[in-house]
Structure 1
Amino acid sequence: MKKPFLTLLLLLQPCCGMAQKKVPFFSIPDTTVNSHVWLLTGTTAALYGASLAALNTAWYKGYPRTGFHFFNDIGEWKQMDKAGHIFSAYFIGKYSREMWRWSGLPRKKQIWIGGLSGFAYQSVVEVLDGYSSEWGFSWSDMGANAIGSALLISQELAWNEQRIQLKFSAHPQHYDDPVLQEKADQLFGTTFWERTLKNYNGQTYWLSVNPYSFNKNSRFPKWLNIAVGYGAQGMVGGRDNTWTDSHGIDHDYNQLRRVRQFYLSPDIDFTRIPTRKKGIRVLFQVLNMVKFPAPTLEISSKGRVVLHPVYF
């Protein structure tokens, strides 16, 4: 925990003592504003601390703690959990980077501070996993966190924009078999938000590419993206669909085939829709984390090809 904050303070050191000029509170300054820097630092620390405390209560509740240990989970959940780690590190870093524009710090410092914040936050979560009997510290999770942060930072450094964005979509899953549904409820929760965040069977992670940004002389609409998605279904366990319930009864649902799903679909980059209203621009930034529902071509690992009129 100490190293990320120490690094942050060292990065901020050169800004101290600089002459300050008054700027409108909500404007993006062109020089460092120390009051903005310290306000962002305090706000970020408070948000991260509060969210980690909430996560520690909600996610690890009911699981006993143990000594720090490692866990190799690279083969679980068709790597959907790794896609989640990549997306989370990217998402946290992306909006942190947008916040740090307000600091007026030099561009590269904004990028590194904002971009690495996702990796730092996810690393703390991974350490918490290391003390849980249900999970453990996973090097593959750390690698996924690094990929998410690297995708953000590299694009900001190279292009000063996100031409390739990570997005998320999810839909509810329900099983007609009561035993299977009971197991799903135990694994993924029963509320809307629990199932959205935990049920890998209903999640899709997208790479959304903006063609216009790569060729600005083209007639391709500025706001239109092409998205490639990845998902999986048929999973009620990390590696297989067998388990023993609380009554000692063994269940074998391996007839439920575990499949990978690949998607191709148009998408919208809301941040490229012109608007002068700051509130709308903020809303567009938030909406951009979600894949826009659209016609979608699905190809699964069992050879199934489906054209969905609308997929989310």
Structure 2
Amino acid sequence: MKKYLLLITLALLCYRSTAQKKEPFFSIPDTVSPGHIWILGGASLTLYGTSLAALNTAWYKGYPRSSFHFFNDMNEWLQMDKAGHIFTAYIISKYNRELWKWSGLSRKQQIWIGGFSGLGYQSVIEILDGFSSEWGFSWGDMGANAVGSALMVSQELIWNEQRIQLKFSAHPEKYDDPLLKEKAENLFGPSFWERTLKDYNGQTYWLSVNLHSFAPQSNWPKWLNISAGYGAKGMLGGDNNIWTDDHGITRNYTHIKRVRQFYLSPDIDFTKIKTRKKGVKVLFQLLNMVKVPAPALEFNSEGKVKVHALAF
């Protein structure tokens, strides 16, 4: 979940370049603008370098380094971490594609730059993982990164729009048991934001499909989406719920079941809501990263079906 450190900075850069389009210099050019390309290229390199340096300090601090090594984590966290990789690569690719519209480059060039930006950034992070004794270079993560970038690129090339968008939602997970609370703080951190980004038990990743885009002759509202979500709960470790605490005592919490959750819920595509205000358009782009709270139907790996009045 460390990949989310880039998203806020990307959003701010997206807002700046869009909000200033009232001036001629910041309008989207009809032809290639070398000046804009240099600015975007320099800003991207600075942004990537700064965020990677911050990540290298914040995320890997306190963990010993090692020689480069591989690590197979495909069976961990019920693949929630892989969903996070797909989502993050998709979002980075999508916003980069939007930013590079300002370059005046051809549509296909913008699309490929966006796609490779998401994949490239994630690849560098994966290499950093390879030099950390706590983790390792994961081909599963790299595959997930490629899927996220490919989802953005393929839709732009085929439909010239994002008919299927990836979204995220999270809610704080409560740990009333003192031992579970201690374990959760060690794993996911004590603060609200750390829990939001690291605690897979409270996260859901959504595949949000715009109905009108696939059936333009229908009476479906253009902003209405249907979303399929994936989440999981009961995870107190990567692959099991047994651990040794700080006092050397083995804790066995295998009675807590690790459960996969699948959701079906209505959603909103904010970019389909018409507005002439550029600031509102940017806000709608940012809101589209997050799944709108709405009623949902849940199917889980225990064979149970649940109805949620509000899922997020």
Q: Which residue of 2 aligns with 1:26?
A: 26
For residues 71-95 of structure 1, the C-alpha deviation after alignment (integer angstroms, 9 at most, x for no partner) is: 0000000000000000000000000
Letter in 1 for 2:70: F
> Quick one: higher RCO (CA 8 Å, sep 6+), 1 or 2?
2
Q: Which residue of 1 aligns with 2:299?
A: 299
Q: Which residue of 2 aligns with 1:174?
A: 174
State the SS of the aligned residue for 1:229: strand
Matches within 5 A, 1:1-312: 24-312=24-312
Letter in 2 for 1:161: E
Supply the distance in 1 between the matched residues of 2:258 and 2:212 (Cα, whole angstroms): 37
State the SS of the aligned residue for 1:50: helix
How many residues are treated as equivalent by the alignment? 290
Supply the distance in 1 between the matched residues of 2:59 and 2:208 (Cα, whole angstroms): 29
Q: Which residue of 1 aligns with 2:17?
A: none
State the SS of the aligned residue for 2:144: helix
Supply the distance in 2 between the matched residues of 1:221 and 1:91 (Cα, whole angstroms): 25
Supply the distance in 2 between the matched residues of 1:73 and 1:120 (Cα, whole angstroms): 21
Deviation of residue 26 (structure 1)? 2.7
For residues 185-233 of structure 1, the C-alpha deviation after alignment (integer angstroms, 9 at most, x for no partner) is: 0000011111111100000000000010112111110000000000000
Deviation of residue 27 (structure 1)? 1.7
- What is the TM-score with the length of structure 1 in the denominator? 0.92
Percent identical: 71
Letter in 2 for 1:252: N
For residues 151-208 of structure 1, the C-alpha deviation after alignment (integer angstroms, 9 at most, x for no partner) is: 0000001111000000000000111110011000000001111111110000000000
Letter in 2 for 1:40: L
State the SS of the aligned residue for 2:75: coil
Runs of 4+ in 1 over 3 A off after TM superposition: none
Deviation of residue 282 (structure 1)? 0.5
Q: Which residue of 1 aligns with 2:6?
A: none
Letter in 1 for 2:203: Q
For residues 249-284 of structure 1, the C-alpha deviation after alignment (integer angstroms, 9 at most, x for no partner) is: 100000010000000000000000000111110110
Deviation of residue 54 (structure 1)? 1.4
- What is the TM-score with the length of structure 2 in the denominator? 0.92
Q: Which residue of 2 aligns with 1:9?
A: none
State the SS of the aligned residue for 2:232: strand
Task: Point out the more displaced range, 206-215 or 302-311.
Answer: 302-311
Supply the distance in 2 between the matched residues of 1:255 and 1:120 (Cα, whole angstroms): 41
For residues 114-170 of structure 1, the C-alpha deviation after alignment (integer angstroms, 9 at most, x for no partner) is: 111110000000000000010000001000000000000000011110000000000
Deviation of residue 28 (structure 1)? 1.6
Letter in 2 for 1:294: A
RMSD value, Cα: 0.9
Supply the distance in 2 between the matched residues of 1:88 and 1:46 (Cα, whole angstroms): 19
Task: Point out the more displaced range, 125-134 or 50-59.
Answer: 50-59
State the SS of the aligned residue for 2:297: strand
Letter in 1 for 2:109: K
Letter in 2 for 1:77: W
Supply the distance in 2 between the matched residues of 1:193 and 1:126 (Cα, whole angstroms): 23
Deviation of residue 304 (structure 1)? 2.1
Q: Which residue of 1 aligns with 2:8?
A: none
Supply the distance in 2 between the matched residues of 1:137 and 1:293 (Cα, whole angstroms): 35
State the SS of the aligned residue for 2:94: helix
Unaligned runs of 5+ in 1: 1-22
State the SS of the aligned residue for 2:25: coil
Supply the distance in 1 between the matched residues of 2:54 and 2:221 (Cα, whole angstroms): 42
For residues 224-245 of structure 1, the C-alpha deviation after alignment (integer angstroms, 9 at most, x for no partner) is: 0000000000001000000011
Letter in 1 for 2:168: F
Deviation of residue 25 (structure 1)? 2.2
State the SS of the aligned residue for 2:26: coil
Letter in 1 for 2:50: A
